Amino acid sequence: MSEYFLKPLNLQQFRTPDRFSELAMKEKGSEFIARVFPLFGGEGYLPHLTSLRKQFYDATHHCYAAKTLKEGVKYSDDGEPGGTAGVRILQAIEHFDLTEVLVVVTRYYGGTKLGVGPLGKAYYQSSHDALGSAGVREYHLFEKMKITFPHEFISNFYRIAGRYSVRKEEEIYLEEVEQILWVRGDQTESLMTELTESFSGRVQFKNLEEFGYF
């Protein structure tokens, strides 16, 4: 799955869970159910949160933390003592260095107050364990470019491009060869330099001002 943007974002790369995960634990009678939602390429975190609140309306709390490319970081204690829930879930997300993720911990109160320390630990541990079972996928920022060069260099082009992270979108043969490519952002300058030197300057580059994560 890929998502496109009109301009580059701040992250050259990011990690996100590669699948939904759910894990439950109990602490002094209270049940903590942590659910991990990968968000990249989807509709954001609010639909997941709204759906959970409707489906498990009888739960005592739905505490969460979300970290996204477009909206940054959001978290909520949902009525729990300040600093015991949302920020602790966020700390679990940061432990795995994840972005484009929502973690919701649903709590069913068991009748025994846990105290601030144990309560925070329960929210962190349930989130940590659920995230740990979700797996990780890494995305990199790519730039779309057009590269034009004489036909005689086509073999050299394939040889050089094969050493870089590129995704070919289109190849056009006119008076010269036109390659429409997605190139990983942190490799663009090196690729351009190597092609220019190898082709003795007989190559043209055009940044198409499109960016995406793959």
As a whole number, mean pLDDT of residues 204-214 equals 94
Q: Quick check: 75 and 90 in contact, CB under 8 A? A: yes
In a domain, 11, yes or no: no
In a domain, 114, yes or no: yes
| Domain total of the chain | 2
Select from 80, 107, 134 the last residue of a domain: 134
Q: Specify whether 146 is located in the same domain as 123.
A: no
Structural domain containing residue 72: 19-134
- Rounded to whole angstroms, the maximal C-alpha distance in the chain is 78
Select from 134, 163, 180 the last residue of a domain: 134
Select from 105, 134, 163 the last residue of a domain: 134
In a domain, 51, yes or no: yes
Percent of the chain with pLDDT over 90: 88
Q: Could you identify the residue written with the tokens 């034009």?
A: 148
As a whole number, mean pLDDT of residues 194-205 equals 97
Question: What does the pLDDT look like over 121-130, one tens digit per residue?
Answer: 999 999 999 9
Residue 2 has pLDDT above 80, yes or no: no
Question: What does the pLDDT look like over 28-81, one tens digit per residue?
Answer: 999 999 999 999 988 889 999 999 999 999 999 999 999 998 888 999 999 999
Confidence of residue 10 (pLDDT cuts 50, 70, 90): low
Beta bridge pairs of residue 145:
181, 207
Which phi and psi (to 5°) does residue 33 adopt?
-115, 110
In a domain, 10, yes or no: no
Q: Specify whether 26 is located in the same domain as 112.
A: yes
Q: Specify whether 177 is located in the same domain as 192.
A: yes
Cα gap 142→8, rounded to integer Å: 9
Q: Specify whether 146 is located in the same domain as 126.
A: no
Q: Specify whether 59 is located in the same domain as 80.
A: yes
CA angle 133, 62, 21 (to 5 degrees): 15
